[in-house]
Each structure stands twice: as structure tokens, then as C-alpha cells.
Amino acid sequence: MHIHILGICGTFMGGVALLARELGMTVSGSDANVYPPMSDQLAAAGIVLQQGYLVEHLDPTPDLVVMGNAMSRGNPAVEYVLNKGLPYISGPQWLAEYVLKDKWVLAVSGTHGKTTTSSLLAWILEDAGMSPGFLIGGVPDNFGETARLGKTPFFVIEADEYDTAFFDKRSKFVHYHPRTLVVNNLEFDHADIFDNLAAIQKQFHHLLRTVPSQGLVISPNNVPVIEQLFEMGCWTPRQTVDLDSGDIQAQNIADDGSQFDVINHGEKVGSVNWSMLGMHNVSNALAALAAAHHVGVTFEHGCEALERFSGIKRRMELRGEVQGVRVYDDFAHHPTAIASTVAGLRANIGSRKLIAILEPRSNTMKMGIHQHTLADSLMAADSVILFEDKGLKLSLESIQQQLGEKATIKHTINEIIELVCQQAASGDEILIMSNGGFGGIHQRLLTALAAR
């Protein structure tokens, strides 16, 4: 079977491509933007990537066209598929029909933390000898790939609330039918497709409706917006996880989140001393431990596995150190995640100088939804550089004013690199945050620092 994937280089659709290739299908695909790490994985799997959305890419005619949710009417390839009557399907529906239908699906949902929690969960199962399949919106270092079929019925998936396709406006995750569901958190995001928080809650409730009564739902304890979600109806047992309350808790937590004890219903069941930082990652770890326990992994073994977890590309990833200056890459793009990431690094490095560089790239940020909370999320940094490129309709001046003298707005990547090279000294830490490629700033900055 030959499938052609439109929008193949997104993390989700790239994962679909890798799974289809592993199933023995012939896979081709096209995309407007091609950049690592996904492009590297696809090329290594022997999948042909084509730039743009040309009609010629669909010759010879594939047996099935898989549409990414970035596709819309008016796209030349989309119009060709519709006019020619070619069979087409969304990525989530393809996944449900060809991969998940016979699996015990462990789905990780939430506004943020999905990639990290999914990666932790997949690794705990792998370390326990359970060889799970997975599709994750990132590249866990322990696996070196974003998706695989696995050798057992267990399949871990990052369950995104974004819409499925231009012809299916339900959230992606309603296609997955999990038996184990993690609801990590729930905040307003994706303002380009959701009018308000209630609209997001509605989609999460659609997801809750699909979890069997013999399954398990794992969520934080006493969070009003999540409690409202369950009040809408839940037919599945629920387990709560939290830093200081709930069924499964973390206690004796180090200030930077690098050490903590795990408590299950009042009893200490393990301790973790690991490389991850931040209270958000402690919460992610508890959720992953609970989900793994649901399929038979002991808390003790789960804690030991976490200590062998190597991290995830673009999640507080140390990209390099030059002349005593460390440069980190992080995907954080929501104020809650930004605040926890910055606070975790601050607690870890103490009084050393922390320079935070932010590209406000998500649709929600560009629409100004986080304008009143973004500055507070960056306060723990000593210096903040905000990237306001020509395509950004949002003015960052008010955020700069809230941050005071520590904040600077720059309009090109070269200007950012020049400023950092002037500011940074040995012992400083540079945290770069963006949910895109950011013009390859990480390596460009390291190169410039080395050339000083």
C-alpha cells in the first residue's frame, strides 16, 4: 500500500509516517517547512520528502492520502485530491484504524507536559521489559525516535486537543480510545480554534466519554477546571496525583525538582534522583508512574527507570557549552510551562546569571491571549530577550515594560546573537524558548560565542 502524507514534517504526522513505514507501507510525503529533528528521522527511514504541495507529488497516484491538520481548502494538493476523488483520511483516524485498534492505549493529554509525560511513560514501560509502541511529539533520547509500533499490546500516545483536519473539527484525541488516560492539566490555549476554556473542556469531556469503565483516568487533585470536567460525567475510576495531595504524591522535593520521594496512599514506595528539573517535571513523573502502575509496573521499578531517563530533544536540552556559557533549547510556549522551566533552572543554577530568550510563536501568543501573564513567567530570569520579528502582529512593548530594565526587544536573530555575545560571561546560562526552529539560533549562537 502506498500512502502520501500532506504535512509530513509535523511531529505527529512524521510519527504517522514512521509507523506506516514500519507496517511495510510505501510512504511519501510533502510539506512546506522541513527541519530537524523530524526531517532527519524520515530521511533515515527511507521516506521521500518533497518541498511544497505540488500536484506532481501525487503522481503516481497513491492508494491513500493522509491529511495533516495544517492542510486547508485552497491548497493545490488538497484541491487535486478532492477533484480527482482520491481516497483520503486524517492522521488521527489513520492511526486509529491501522495501529491502535488492537492496542491497550495509554494516552497523555493536557495543555502542556504531554511530550515529557509520554516520553517518561514509554521509557518506564521499556525499562520494565514491556517494549511498548509509542507516538510522541518529540524525540526521547532513550529511544532516538518519535514513533514505533512496539512488540506488545501497549501503546503510549501524546493525545493532542488540537483539531483533527479541515474536514473533521473534533480534537485529535477522540480517535484514540484509551484504556489508561492521563489529564495532566487544563488551561486556555489554541485560541485560533477554541473560543474559550469551556470549549476546550467540552472536547476533553468527549475524550472522557471514550474511556472504558474498566480503564483508569489519572489527573491532578483539586484543580477547579478539572473538577468541573469530571462533574460533566465520568464513567471510569479516577486516580489523583499531585505534589502535596491526592492518591499519589511527591514529598521531600529538592528546590530544583531533581530529587523527590513518591508516596502512594500514604506509603513511601520509592525515591527519584534524576536529571530533570522543575516542579512541572515532578508532576509529569507522578502521572507517568501512575499510568505505568496501571499496566503492572511497580512504583519501585518505575522510580528506578526515571533515574535512567536521558531527557528529550528540545525539552531543556543542553545544546552546548562554550567558554563556560551553557545554551539550552526548550519548547515551552505557554506561560505556565515557561514559569516552571525558568524557575527550575534558576533553582538549579543558584545565583549564576540566567539569560532567557523567547520567540512568541504559538498562535495563542501571537493573538495576545497571554499578554497579561507572560511577563510574570519570565521574572526569575536576570535578563530577557524578546524576539519580535516582522511577521508578529503582537507588540511586545507592554511585556517589556512589565519586566522593566531586564527586558530587551530584538527584531532579528543576528541582533539577539550580538547582544548575547556582549552580555554573556563564563558561568552564565542561556535558555532559548520557542516551539519552532527559531532560525537555527542555538547553533548560530554557540558558533558566535566560540568566535569571540
pLDDT (0 to 100) of residue 194: 73
Instruction: Please tell me the distance from the alpha carbon of residue 399 to that of residue 101, in angstroms, as a whole number.
Output: 47
**280, three cell numbers:** 512541572
Domain ranges of the chain: 2-90, 102-307, 317-450
pTM for the whole structure: 0.83
pLDDT (0 to 100) of residue 190: 63
3-state secondary structure the chain: CEEEEECCCCHHHHHHHHHHHHCCCEEEEEECCCCCCHHHHHHHCCCEEEECCCHHHHCCCCCEEEECCCCCCCCHHHHHHHHHCCCEEEHHHHHHHHHHCCCEEEEEECCCCHHHHHHHHHHHHHHCCCCCEEECCCCECCCCCCEECCCCCEEEEECCCCEEECCEEEEHHHHCCCCEEEECCCCCCCCCCCCCHHHHHHHHHHHHHCCCCCCEEEEECCCHHHHHHHHCCCCCCEEEEECCCCCEEEECCCCCCCEEEEEECCEEEEEEECCCCCHHHHHHHHHHHHHHHHCCCCHHHHHHHHHCCCCECCECEEEEEECCEEEEEECCCCHHHHHHHHHHHHHHHCCCCEEEEECCCCHHHHCCCCCCCHHHHCCCCCEEEEECCCCCCCCCHHHHHHHHHHEEEECCHHHHHHHHHHHCCCCCEEEEECCCCHHHHHHHHHHHHHCC
pLDDT (0 to 100) of residue 144: 87
Superfamily holding 2-90: NAD(P)-binding Rossmann-like Domain (3.40.50.720)
Provide the 10 A C-beta neighbour count for residue 196.
9
Domain 317-450 has CATH 3.90.190.20: yes
Instruction: Please tell me the distance from the alpha carbon of residue 217 to that of residue 234, in angstroms, as a whole number.
Output: 9
pLDDT (0 to 100) of residue 167: 97
CATH hierarchy code of domain 102-307: 3.40.1190.10
**320, three cell numbers:** 552546548
Torsion sign (Cα): 201, 204, 206, 208: negative
Strand partners, 2: 26
Tens-binned pLDDT, residue by residue, of the chain (452 aa): 999 999 999 889 999 999 999 999 999 999 997 766 678 889 888 898 999 999 999 999 999 999 999 999 999 999 999 999 999 999 999 999 999 999 999 999 998 889 999 999 999 999 999 999 999 988 888 898 899 999 999 999 999 998 999 999 999 999 999 999 999 988 867 666 777 888 999 999 999 999 999 999 999 998 999 999 999 999 999 999 999 889 999 999 999 999 999 999 999 999 999 989 889 899 999 999 999 999 999 999 999 999 999 877 777 888 999 999 999 998 876 788 888 889 889 988 999 999 999 998 766 666 556 566 788 999 999 999 999 887 676 678 888 999 999 999 999 999 999 999 999 999 999 999 998 788 889 999 999 999 98
